[in-house]
Structure 1
Amino acid sequence: MSEQPPTYAALRPAAVSSLAGELRLACMRISRRVRYESTDAVAPHHFSVMCRLEEAPRTPGELAEIERVSAPSMTRTVGGLAELGFVQRAQHPTDKRQVIVTLTPEARRVLKEIRRKRDAWMSVRVSHLEPEEQAILQRATVILTRVAAE
């Protein structure tokens, strides 16, 4: 005789609110720990901008919009990344008033190393969980990815 999968009832609004708060805090704590434990060579806001530039070269204005910061703030961030040798600025091909920002090979190396350290930190923690807990996290990762995309 095969075992039937469990059926679930929808949570009441108060329980959904409580779960949402606990989940948000857990995600924030994990994010903070991953950043701290990986001993990054770059500040978190630099890392975020570098990840955006890894997707495609962009103008500082595009980066500011994506990162939800002011244009002057992004100009300072891009300047800091340029001083560190992580980005190059070139004149926009169609609008000479703008610049296009691209990653340097060194920045790509740094991003790869930061991700390696972060993945190693998380791998150690997940490896210490029970197999059932690891399976739950596999399923939860799909769900959390969907929540983050909405």
Structure 2
Amino acid sequence: MSKGFLNNYDKRIIKEIMNIMIPENEEIAAAGNKGLIVELEKLFFDSEMHINSIKRILDAIDLNTDARLSGSFFSLTKEKKIEILKSLEKNMFDDFHIFKECIFGTYYCDDEVMRKIGWDNDFINKAKFGEYSFKPNILNKVKNINPFWRQV
């Protein structure tokens, strides 16, 4: 699938959901308002599993009775949107879990977010982690434990 499979309406829905799931606080904008949809596409749209789950969630929102009766997902109150999201989480657990992974994964990969919460995005290259060699003597206690089963 191509990286640009989302239309503008889909992107607006994802942005709205991101804002609901990760709202703004006094230090940082809500996830959707940070403009991370392009980053979400870069991070997750090479994976057919992620694309399919996102598409199924968006389709379920489009087919939701309340959203259809009100004209769109955007016409609903925040409480009703949250109710729909909770229902999707309950009834489409696996797809919703993958959808949340995309949202939170994108948000916590953002440089500003990582700076604000004090995460070091270069921790892998730091010398303090160095190389550790395997020390076989750490298994000595385990080797001395008698089996917990009996011979039959």
**What's the TM-score once normalised by structure 2's chain length?**
0.28
Normalized per residue, which structure has more strand? 1
For the pair shown, which has the larger CA radius of gyration, 1 or 2? 2
